[in-house]
Amino acid sequence: MAKHTPQKTPLVFYRSGSGKEPVREWIKGLDAADRQAVGQDLMRAQWRRPVGMPLCRAMGQGLWEIRTELPSNRIARVLLCLDEDVLVALHAFIKKTQKTPDDELALARKRQKELQS
């Protein structure tokens, strides 16, 4: 019986029309330990698709959130979508409330629409 080899799903950062990559810039702004935690969770999502809870949660309409508990005792979220078999990191933020704020979701969905147009 052939052994299944895990396939890595490529991950790219959303790039605005002006060439900015907001998620990459956000990650670079974190301290080293937090940056490593987010990077590790993004890598897990690339290797274990489809990924479920507690790492990854469906947010509806093809949007997913990667849930990272940061060493700094904060909670980070990276919102992404799958676009032609490539994971696209659309938006990232530090979560301060129980519910994901609507404006954070709206920004990710706006960027997701840009990809599909």
From CA 17, how far away is CA 75, in angstroms rounded?
29
Question: Which pTM was predicted?
Answer: 0.88
Q: Average per-residue pLDDT in the chain?
A: 89
For residue 111, which of 24, 5, 13, 8 has the smallest C-alpha distance?
13
pLDDT of 4: 61
**Domain housing 66:** 11-112
Residue 65: CB atoms within 10 Å: 22
pLDDT of 6: 66
From CA 44, how far away is CA 29, in angstroms rounded?
21
In a domain, 6, yes or no: no
Is 60 exceeded by the pLDDT of residue 1?
no
* Number of structural domains the chain divides into: 1
pLDDT in tens, 38-73: 999 999 888 875 667 778 888 999 999 999 999 999
Which one-letter DSSP state was computed for residue 108?
H
From CA 15, how far away is CA 76, in angstroms rounded?
20
The pLDDT > 70 percentage for the chain reads: 92
Looking up residue 65, the CATH number of its domain turns out to be: 3.30.2310
